[in-house]
Amino acid sequence: MGVGKTLRILVILPMYGGSLPVGRFCASALKELGHVAEVFEAPGFYGAFEALKTLRVTSDRLEYLENSFLQVVSQAISAKVETFGPDLVLALAQAPLSRQTLKRLRRDGVKTAMWFVEDFQLFTYWETFAPYYDVFAVIQKEPFAHKLAAIGQPNVVYLPMAADPAVHRPLEISPVERRTYGAEVSFMGAGYPNRRLAFARLLDFGLGIFGSDWDGDAALSGRLRLGGRRIDTEEAVKIFNAATVNLNLHSSVLAKELVPAGDFVNPRTFELAMCGAFQLVSERTLLPELFADDELVRFGSMEELREKLAHFLAHPEERQAYAQRARARALAEHTYGQRMEQLLGFVARCFPDWPAGRQEAEAALAGLPEPLRQETAALLRDLSLPADVTFPDLIAAVRARQGRLTPLETSLLFLDEWQRQYAGS
Amino acid sequence: MARFLVLQLARLGDLVQTRRLLAGLAAKAAAGGGEVHLAVDRSLAGLAGRLYPFARIHSLPAHAGPGRSAAETAGLARKACGELAAIAFDRVFCLNFSPLGMAVSAMFPPEVQRGYRQYAGQTDKDGLLRLVFRLARDRRGSGLNLADIWAHLDDEALPAAQVNPVAVPRGGGLGVALAGRTARRSLSPDILAPLVRTLFRAGGASRVTLLGTAAQAGEARALLRKLDPAVAAACTDLTGQTDLAGLCDTISGLDRLITPDTGAMHLAAFFGVPVTAFFLSSAWCHETGPYGLGHEVWQATLPCAPCLEAAPCDQGHVCRLPFADPGFLRALAGSAKAVLPPGLALFATDCDALGAVCRLLRGEDASATARQTLRDFLARHLLGAVAEATDPAPGRELAERLVMETDWILPPPGRTASREW
């Protein structure tokens, strides 16, 4: 499925929200696959937008300023593309790519892909920007693909959510951590209206709720843990591992359906499975093709949830068997690495000449003398780059390293600059 | 227990048009043992209590009045704000693009504010309202009722057909509302008189009640002078003689109300009294038409309609002329063969999943396709799965024009940036 060569990929993170960690997982997976991935850190610009909100100007002027500054951020992405020269720009939902910038990238022959990890019926803005991407990856099936085609986006690929095995993994939980993060019946996530009402019906179980947006709910306040603050990924993994039963109730902004009907499968499903943590997950139409009946336990109503909670709390060996099978399936089929391979393969199928326009360069190691060659080979392994990576790609990866560079990295950069200065002389 | 506050500091018509939002919140509150609060101008507090008995009414000195001093206003505002601040509201809906309403919003945390908002001195508005402001550049192609804009500020709006009762005659004869607050949107007595006479005869009415404030008493007298003696004799002139409660009592018992775009018209729709409305000048039935089933609107559809209320008319008020056309009188009398003058169309009110809608019965409706495309676009935007069947292709131009990068890249105003799954 892969494209068989090292690619340069610029991952555009959103400034905030649920797709932000997904973008980081993508970048990490792309590097693991041996590609040179750079990340556009849009969250760094978010503070400027918050500052605009403190100006105390008219609402019309505020809207104008927000739009103007967003154009600047988008231009920053253009500049990054010019410098980095990516084969693909991968944007996550809410990425700060304006239509103007997307048009310019298309004109310049830079391929762009959006992984729209949102519900298309709730976040309807795809109608505005979808045709400007070369490839549109989605977490839902029909009728979304049909609708995208109708507005001029034919290159649609179904790409369900995933998990990162390096992050979402089984953990040994210490007694202290268990007191902090453990619960008999645990939920980690935001307090959407349906969850508030549903969990109020589970107070006779040992319920613990982690996450934000649960304010003002008197019925659940006694079950809210860690002060209802935001939970980062590392803590979330501890919470998953420390629970006897993890609840995974898909969200809905509507309170009338406690267990909402829906199609796409949320990231928590994959993350819990990858952790080897037992979960009870609400029914989704796309779930059976991702996990079999003997891998995940599903519920379609509150009655069914209560019944299964009671059963599985009393049967630890069954819980363990389910969790093990779910983890095996997640490792085999649902990693971000696999998703990125699928996405790159799809781009390659849509555009047979892709990646194009890059000069064939000599392998980085070929021109280096020993023992520098051996030392650089170790660096390639550290950077997850293939042994035949080109010198320009190696330099791009070195430039993306954080903090102080090592003498080897510095000497490679020096060599690159020396070659540029004296090229052709 | 959920507590909702609606800040509606505008006039009578706006208060009545808030029903869809308020009734939806009341249904939610009833399901979960919650409360609905409504803050209005002092002059409308009594009426608000009558129209919305489920709501706790808060009174603010929003409108200037004779003899009201700044000191008195400050004292009244302090008392009302103290009352409101003591309640932990889950949602506060500020419905007016007015500094007064937004000033009150500033008492509440940004995450509970909806509609027009203010926090830390910065005013702002919800994404839907930003979009509505962009829509205002092309009102002719716009087709979202004001009541529905307000209702959709909440995540779940009450079904439109459940808002007002289906209109049926109530036995009290014909009512005629004289000019509303904007005289340009009303027909002069010499044009109105033949229309009243025609409807009086066509409907077999025996009584006519003239309604309006004291300021419209002169118009009422002028109308009476223009009417046939038989019709004039059936008239009772109540202009300037009813308070708001009396107005409600009278309107709620009518068989039909003849009216321009007025607060009285919205009251009639509220009580399920059939309305025959004449919309001209800046009035556009697709924005502020009578809400619910069973009403009819004769809408001026000349190329300049709807115009801007604030801009002087440079067309010689030509939108009044179709209402004086003999063909219109014949059509109003029920003649199916009558030829309507150009620039006039008859719409019947209806409801769909998005809200109130006016459907063409007679005449031409050049903006119908554009409006339907917009409604489909808004339905996808506001209703999600309910609008799954709509085709996004015709709305591409709207998506390009009406949606800005800020709408999808930045978190919605007042919402947390976390938006976890």
Residue range A110-130, pLDDT digits in tens: 999 999 999 999 889 999 999
- The per-residue DSSP string of A260-281 comes to ---SS--HHHHHHHHHT--EEE
Residues B265 and B361 placed together within one structural domain of the fold = yes
Q: Find chain A residues with C-beta within 8 A of B125's C-beta.
A: 59
Residues B17 and B109 placed together within one structural domain of the fold = yes
Residues B71 and B202 placed together within one structural domain of the fold = no
**What is the C-alpha to C-alpha distance for residues A394 and A382, in angstroms, rounded to an integer?**
12
Q: Find chain B residues with C-beta within 8 A of A194's C-beta.
A: none
C-beta of residue B264 within 8 angstroms of C-beta of residue B277: no
Residue of A241, A125, A146, A253 whose CA lies nearest to A191: A253
Q: Which of B68, B97, B125 is the last residue of a domain?
A: B125
Q: Biggest alpha carbon distance in chain A?
A: 80
Q: Which amino acid is at B45?
A: A
CATH number of the domain that residue B208 is part of: 3.40.50.2000
The percent of residues above 70 in pLDDT, for chain B, comes to: 97
pLDDT by 10-residue block (mean), chain A, 425 residues = 79 93 96 94 92 90 93 94 94 95 95 96 92 98 95 97 97 94 95 90 94 83 89 94 97 84 95 98 97 97 96 97 98 98 97 79 80 88 84 86 83 86 73
Residue B199: how many CA atoms within 13 Å on its side-chain side?
A: 22
Asked, for residue B148, whether it belongs to a domain, the answer is no
Asked, for residue B162, whether it belongs to a domain, the answer is no
Residue of B380, B416, B414, B417 whose CA lies nearest to B125: B414
Domains in chain A (CATH in brackets) are 8-161+336-350 (3.40.50.11010), 175-333 (3.40.50.2000), 372-422 (no CATH)
Domain that holds residue B215: 174-366
Residues B358 and B217 placed together within one structural domain of the fold = yes
What local confidence, expressed as pLDDT, does residue A9 receive? 97
Mutation target for B interface from A25, A55, A68, A127: give the one with most B CBs within 10 A.
A127
CA distance A37 to chain B (A): 22
**What is the C-alpha to C-alpha distance for residues B264 and B246, in angstroms, rounded to an integer?**
12
E strand or H helix at A399, and its extent? helix A391-399
Q: Find chain A residues with C-beta within 8 A of B155's C-beta.
A: 193, 253-254
ipTM > 0.85, yes or no: no
Looking at the 3D structure of chain B, how many domains does it have? 2
Residues B216 and B341 placed together within one structural domain of the fold = yes
Asked, for residue B212, whether it belongs to a domain, the answer is yes
CA distance A15 to chain B (A): 8
CA distance A337 to chain B (A): 21
Do residue A62 and residue B396 have CB atoms under 8 angstroms apart?
no
Q: Find chain A residues with C-beta within 8 A of B90's C-beta.
A: 216
Residues B95 and B208 placed together within one structural domain of the fold = no
Q: Find chain A residues with C-beta within 8 A of B88's C-beta.
A: 216
Residue of A189, A120, A106, A129 whose CA lies nearest to A158: A120
What local confidence, expressed as pLDDT, does residue A1 receive? 44
Q: Which residue of A has its CA nearest to B413?
A: A53
> Given 3-state DSSP classes, what are the helix, strand and coil percentages for chain B, each rounded to the nearest 5?
45, 15, 40
What local confidence, expressed as pLDDT, does residue B386 receive? 74
B137 touches chain A (CB under 8 A): no
CA distance B303 to chain A (A): 29
- Please, which residues have CB within 8 angstroms of residue B375's CB and are 6 or more apart in sequence? B143, B144, B352, B354, B357
Q: Which residue of B has its CA nearest to A129?
A: B400
Q: Which residue of B has its CA nearest to A54?
A: B122
What distances in angstroms separate CA A396 from CA A40, A74, A340, one per listed residue? 14, 21, 20
Residues B313 and B199 placed together within one structural domain of the fold = yes
B124 touches chain A (CB under 8 A): yes
Do residue B405 and residue A218 have CB atoms under 8 angstroms apart?
no
Across the interface, of B116, B404, B416, the residue whose CB is closest to A213 is B416
Q: Which residue of B has its CA nearest to A213?
A: B416
CATH number of the domain that residue B33 is part of: 3.40.50
Residues B88 and B215 placed together within one structural domain of the fold = no
Q: In chain B, positions 102-121, which contact chain A (CB-CB < 8 Å)?
A: 111, 116, 119-121
What local confidence, expressed as pLDDT, does residue B181 receive? 62
Asked, for residue B143, whether it belongs to a domain, the answer is no
Asked, for residue B111, whether it belongs to a domain, the answer is yes
Asked, for residue B42, whether it belongs to a domain, the answer is yes
B391 touches chain A (CB under 8 A): yes
Q: Which residue of A has its CA nearest to B393?
A: A151
Residues in chain B: 421
Pairing of strands B174-177, B344-351: unpaired
Q: Which of B366, B384, B412 is the last residue of a domain?
A: B366
Residues B221 and B361 placed together within one structural domain of the fold = yes
Do residue B417 and residue A46 have CB atoms under 8 angstroms apart?
yes
Q: Residue A245 is encoded by which pair of tokens?
A: 């039963």
B366 touches chain A (CB under 8 A): no
Q: Which amino acid is at A130?
A: A
What local confidence, expressed as pLDDT, does residue A252 receive? 85
Do residue A255 and residue B156 have CB atoms under 8 angstroms apart?
yes
For CA atoms B397, B400, B402, B408, give the dihedral sign. Answer: positive
Q: Residue B307 is encoded by which pair of tokens?
A: 């115009």
Q: Which residue of A has its CA nearest to B384?
A: A121
B401 touches chain A (CB under 8 A): no
Q: Which amino acid is at B12?
A: L
Asked, for residue B255, whether it belongs to a domain, the answer is yes
Q: Residue B284 is encoded by which pair of tokens?
A: 């556009």
Question: What dihedral angle (degrees, nearest 10) is formed by the CA atoms of A208, A212, A218, A223?
Answer: 10
pLDDT by 10-residue block (mean), chain B, 421 residues = 93 97 95 92 96 97 81 89 93 94 91 91 91 89 94 94 97 91 84 95 91 93 94 96 96 97 97 97 96 97 90 90 95 93 96 96 92 92 80 88 91 63 63
Q: Find chain A residues with C-beta within 8 A of B409's C-beta.
A: 14-15, 70, 94-96
Strand order, beta sheet including B55-60: B55-60, B35-41, B3-7, B91-94, B113-119, B122-125
Residues B184 and B328 placed together within one structural domain of the fold = yes
Residues B244 and B348 placed together within one structural domain of the fold = yes
Q: Tens digit of pLDDT for each residue in B83-123?
A: 999 999 999 999 999 989 999 999 999 889 999 999 888 88
**What is the C-alpha to C-alpha distance for residues B141 and B165, in angstroms, rounded to an integer?**
28
Residues B107 and B189 placed together within one structural domain of the fold = no
Asked, for residue B313, whether it belongs to a domain, the answer is yes
CA distance B299 to chain A (A): 32
CA distance A414 to chain B (A): 39
